[in-house]
Chain A
């Protein structure tokens, strides 16, 4: 059964890796619903958060193919139940409409939105939440002459008490994780090779 899966990929930061990861999906004609990439808390390591809708079997194979890329340390996948996830949205509305028609206080309280910018011509609201919550706001703001809207990719964090940080540290540690090869060079970071 197809459902939402959030893939979390830790990789060395290198030009071209995004393309290498993207073609793993496009080769199998799988659409990426959202993708976020940013530096992780570990130096030199980037974190990709990729949202797709697929079966577990396909997702498992995709993760193995992603891990096969030289620069990738680990790839994990989770269902929506296993993660806490959010997306950020920005809405630009005509200030006149906001001032005259909208009950701004209600919007801020009920939807947890914030006002970021107020100008004579427009006002920008920001909200953080899940897709449905953002969708509700789009609907609401539609009544007030929404000028422009944008939302970010999903970011997610796992619910399990030990997070990715520990797993990645284990991957890199001299005491090898059961998935990793023994590597004496990890005790000598100067000899660890990066381009």
Chain B
């Protein structure tokens, strides 16, 4: 056994494997080949859960525990969210193992989340023996068809000889172009089948797949000309800047012509919070200035974002006065929601410097001053009262503010979904890219805790704070067991308002306060943490806040802090559904 594995590994060291033709082969089982391929791909962390149909892979894994760290989650949904958190924090591809049937279907939410938020994840699921496919065998489910609309690519392997190629294709597709989730379903017979393993060959081409559209020079020139002639340019950017590792190129671009830049939820942390050209968040709970001024700008420059309805509000009243330049790597995004004047197809790491070179230096003082004016008004009406409420009970915003002071904006903030997510995104400070991890497109409650666990493995040197609500945490709270067993260091900050707050806010504002099933009770979170062997504390007094946060952050290991906050506080500003972004309400 040992010699076999050593031979296989020595034959294919990670840095020389690509492109070379190896004649030497070694007999391996399909399952052993899976692990060898992962090692050559550079994968050292896997999140997963065993089961009947993936047992051969776990049996092979038994001999590799010195080289691959496997984190046993408590539910497969936890494994894929952890892999997403890992990917977002590290910029690498997250890997998941799960079994057939229920194991695979439990991945569905995470796959949909990764698909809509473009997260590179490779899921390897076990499947029943090939001869049992379609017979309603025990734990058989048609995972390929179930996951077709929510994966960038998926493939079923029924012969061990396909494994190296299928995995090479999976990692290439997941990580290239616009990233996304890939699922490889391997039947049990292929896992146990012995075959001549020729080594793992990374690929960088597929006949029908063009991850990067060719940049067309004339559009670069047209874009630069539009920006140079603009009196009121506005840049709106999304996660594409982070996924394209183009943070520096983006900064150079906006700084050269002093372009105000506003971010979508997924673009958060791509540029530092205190960057003078960072004018805040777009969309439903975004900042006042960038929303209103979207409908005043003359040129709108969208970079790596997809004009989600939560960003645009009412589409037929969105930036109608503006000429639109759209930079995106995915041609399907151009003209999907907003008509483009100049489409700049391509990787923004390449296209941004090309445009920057053609830009004229500009100051834009009057236009930038407008953002400051709106900011001041928002501060006065919205932000100040949120940060310093006159109520006895704390607000979510003041908790995040206190957290900022202690982390100095250096922590990774992972959020769940709901009011706390919007407040954390609005108020948290960031100095570094890849520091805000959240479920943006799908809005998956329960994402926060497992994603934070994954992030702590993806960025082991950084502080990871999971800011979660009392509703969302209860959807995946079992993952405290994962922390207990494997010692991830996650700061769990629960903002407890005893409500499913965002739904309650809508019921209050739009449905005559008919609070239909939004009151939610919680267990004693601190006692629950204790039963998992984790430290914790619960506070409801303002004077305890800073000390409690400091204890949480200083603790060596996971620490749970529950902060009781105002029950019926609302998140403002708000663009009500069906309204234009310029109809944003401050209160």
A contact residues vs B (CB 8 Å cutoff):
11-12, 14-16, 19-20, 23, 27, 44, 60-61, 64-65, 67-68, 70-73, 172, 176, 178-183, 185-186, 191-195
Contacts and interface: CB of A to CB of B under 8 A. Distances in A.
Nearest to B166: A195
B232 interface: no
Given A16-B154, A183-B205, A68 B330 contact: yes
A146 B501 CA distance: 66
Interface in B128-173: 144-145, 148-149, 152-156, 162, 165-166, 168-169, 173
B204 interface: yes
A132 B318 CA distance: 44
B547 interface: no
Contacts of B331: 64, 67-68
Contacts of A64: 331-332, 334, 336
A72 B208 CA distance: 6
A23 B168 CA distance: 26
Nearest to A183: B205
Given A20-B149, A68-B332, 20 more contacts: A16-B148, A23-B149, A64-B334, A65-B332, A67-B331, A68-B330, A70-B152, A70-B153, A70-B209, A71-B208, A72-B208, A180-B210, A181-B211, A183-B210, A185-B204, A185-B205, A193-B165, A193-B168, A195-B155, A195-B165
A176 B214 contact: yes
A160 B166 CA distance: 39
Contacts of B211: 181
Contacts of A195: 155, 162, 165-166, 169
B213 interface: yes
A179 B148 contact: no
Contacts of B332: 61, 64-65, 67-68
Given A16-B148, A61-B336, A70-B153, A194 B207 contact: yes
Given A181-B211, A181-B214, A70 B149 contact: no
B173 A70 contact: yes
A180 B207 contact: no
Contact of A179 (B173, B204, B213, B335): B213
B201 to A, nearest CB: 9
Interface of B: 144-145, 148-149, 152-156, 162, 165-166, 168-169, 173, 203-214, 216, 330-332, 334-336
A40 B214 CA distance: 26
B207 A16 contact: no
A23 B214 contact: no
A179 B149 contact: no
Nearest to A15: B156
Given A16-B144, A16-B154, A23-B148, A193 B214 contact: no
A23 B165 CA distance: 26
Contacts of A14: 155
Contacts, number: 81
B228 to A, nearest CB: 25
Nearest to A71: B208
B145 A19 contact: yes
A179 B162 contact: no
B462 to A, nearest CB: 33
B143 to A, nearest CB: 11
B154 A181 contact: no
A105 B210 CA distance: 55
B208 A193 contact: no
B214 A180 contact: yes
Contacts of A67: 331-332
Contacts of A176: 214
Given A16-B148, A19-B148, A70-B152, A193 B216 contact: no
18 contacts: A16-B145, A16-B155, A19-B145, A19-B148, A20-B148, A64-B334, A68-B332, A176-B214, A181-B214, A182-B214, A185-B205, A192-B205, A193-B205, A193-B206, A194-B206, A195-B155, A195-B162, A195-B165
The 5 nearest A-B residue pairs measured at CB: A64-B332, A185-B205, A73-B208, A70-B153, A193-B203
A124 to B, nearest CB: 34
A60 B339 CA distance: 13
Nearest to B210: A181
Nearest to A180: B210
Nearest to B158: A15
Given A64-B332, A65-B332, A70 B216 contact: no
Nearest to B209: A70
Given A27-B149, A61-B336, A68-B330, A193 B169 contact: yes
A68 B333 CA distance: 10
Contacts of A16: 144-145, 148, 154-156
B214 A178 contact: yes
Given A178-B214, A181-B214, A11 B208 contact: yes
Contacts of A192: 205, 207
A61 B166 CA distance: 30
A109 to B, nearest CB: 46
A66 to B, nearest CB: 9
A172 B162 CA distance: 24
A186 B211 CA distance: 15
Given A68-B332, A70-B153, A70-B173, A191 B205 contact: yes
B574 to A, nearest CB: 29
Nearest to A176: B214
B207 A12 contact: yes
Contacts of B209: 70-71
A183 B331 CA distance: 18
Contacts of B206: 70, 193-194
A73 B208 CA distance: 5
Nearest to B206: A193
Nearest to B330: A68
Nearest to B339: A57
Given A16-B145, A179-B213, A70 B208 contact: yes
B208 A12 contact: yes
Contacts of A72: 208
A139 to B, nearest CB: 40
Contacts of B154: 16
A186 B332 CA distance: 25
Contacts of A19: 145, 148
Contacts of B155: 14, 16, 195
Nearest to B153: A70
Contact of A193 (B145, B152, B153, B207): B207
A179 to B, nearest CB: 7
